[in-house]
Structure 1
Amino acid sequence: MLFNADRRIALDRASPVPLYYQIYRIISDYMKEPGAVGRKLPTEEAMMKVFDVSRATVRRALQALESSGQISRSRGRGTIVTNNASQEQLTTIRSFTEQMRLESHVPITKVVEVKRVKAGPEMARILQVSEEEELLQVTRLRGNESYFPLALFISFLTSRSNLTGKENFEGSLYELMRNKGTAVVEGDAIIEGRLAEGRIAKLLRIEEGAPILYYERVGCTALGEHVELVQCWYEATHYKFRIHLTTKI
């Protein structure tokens, strides 16, 4: 078992976060343990006792885990952990606009908001700027002629981007920056499976609790200067990432 079915785990019943999603996150954390893949989860009845919730709440949490590909359920075998949340290094940096055109789609963008925000401790650490530096925050809905909205992008840009906030943000940010003399040529990215919540679900026009792909990237210049942090939420049933892998000999 991934955790002791005889213990009790308290949920925050005063929190606005649904109980099923609290259970989802707790189980997801347990599944990050080494060797979790292939192990068995407790039965629904055991989980009802562990979390002191109804069967319907447990089932909704399990459905969310199954939808995100973290577990498989079958009669006879029970509920098995099938996957750990993992990180993959992407080999090519492309803007959403460039990617859509590469796939012969017509990119569509709706600018939701453009504003200035202070970096604060976390953004300052990630982007290697002072906490007082003003970042340009650009929020956009992205999609194509076949499906819109497909994704929500929130970009945080440092002064190194040379963007003022008055540009037309319906196209490629990278193209705008290149035109201002700044080229993003490398970066670090993470991809995670998540569930849509609150504003994210509303902007993407999907139900809360629906599976989404979360993608986050820090983009740098050839000199290693951090230029942007972009956070992306993709509607999971209409988008996938393909990563080319090789082995070292």
Structure 2
Amino acid sequence: MDKKKLIKLSLPKQISSEIEMSIKNGSLNVGDKLPSEPELVKIFGVSRNTVREAIQSLIQAGVLESRQGDGTYVMSSGRFEANMVNRLYESMDEVNEVRLSLEKEIVKIAAARRTEKDLELISIALENRNLTKDSVSENCKWDMEFHLAIARASHNSIFYDIYNSFSTFIYKSVENKMNGKETIEGMLNQLHIDLYEAIYQKDAERAESIIVTILEN
């Protein structure tokens, strides 16, 4: 093996990596406001310029957003999700094809691997989804939680990360479609119940059939 010179990360890159790690491990969530610049200076023990450079790099990557007079907010779970969301807006047809293929595999694997804890989390999200009738935004949020809980139940971290990278875009897309409609109940609610039951019964074939019907609607 040829000897290669190791490259030491600059301070701004180290700070941006630390912030991204905080988002990844859940210390910061999408929608959270970052600590103020003086607070970040104290936390990391670096200069204001270093903090500003780190923050700016994450803003340019789409991970953070600066809001004039308010602060800086987390907009995505990382550079991968930010890049994916930007890419998704380019072709809805391709997005729908990928989502269908992805969810078909996820529900089949989840049906085979789900644990009792997984079922509990899926059930909670399902109940909240179907009970939330007055707010389209809230209903869509719980709908997304339901599908993310199923993705977790696949116990395939790559499947989950890819689906999670879609989640913000899917949430906004579904919310836009549902706004203006008189009801968010009916057949789709029952289909989601049927999907939960198929996963509960470990019926992968039925779960796949149901998710196709859900996405077609």
Higher helix proportion, which one? 2
Higher strand proportion, which one? 1
Instruction: State the TM-score, normalizing by the size of structure 2.
Output: 0.34
Instruction: State the TM-score, normalizing by the size of structure 1.
Output: 0.30
More RCO (CA 8 Å, sep 6+) = 2
